[in-house]
Structure 1
Amino acid sequence: MTLTRIDPGPRMSEAVIIGDLIFLAGQVPDDLTADITVQTQQVLANIDAVLAQAGASKADIGSVQVWLADMSDFAGMNAVWDAWVDRANPPARATGGVALARPGMRVEMIVIARNPHSG
């Protein structure tokens, strides 16, 4: 079974492909001053970009963990999510409230997807 790292750094890789699965690192927003709508759009765009690097798309996502710094952002995050999600291929998803790593970060998402090229 092969293992491929996408954008490895000294602490972590952006994603790791192991056989049939693609594991994305936690995807975070670029603008920590933005509201939940913009931050969610940025996180989902980052997910799309990393999946594309792995040769996959949101249709290949099997599971997503959504972490919110404030659960009152749940509806705002869901509004953006609902416009983005592949309705023909919705993933399993869990959402929880947690203390995120940096001040101003409102949302982080972790994705596990299938590798459509694994044969």
Structure 2
Amino acid sequence: MTASILTVDDSPSLRMAIRIALTGAGYAVTEAGDGSEGLEKALATPFDMIVTDLNMPVMDGLTMIRELRKAPSMSGVPIIFLTTESDDAMKQQAKAAGATGWLVKPFVAEQLVKIARKVLGR
């Protein structure tokens, strides 16, 4: 069965780049344009992994992760931050909120696929 991944980013071009990388590796990808939309989609549909930006309008990625981790169904779902931020303090906040990993933009498609394969085991 194909793993399903939710990508959450306010940049349509970045969502497209993520979608191309992940669908090319055989994953099914659903997109959301901000943390609020991502939260709504993640709670309505089960996903095997979530890739989210940090800085977005309406709801940022950190708040979305905190909200997702409150739902028992989301406790084991890997969440990868894909952001321009590389500050150690921010990484600690993300980890404390429940992020599984961190990838800095601009990203290399192969690197994102490698992380997906590692956390999904496929």
**Shared fold, TM over 0.5:** no
Greater strand share, structure number = 1
Q: For the pair shown, which has the larger CA radius of gyration, 1 or 2? A: 1
Structure 2-normalised TM-score? 0.35
Higher relative contact order (CA 8 A, sep 6+): 1
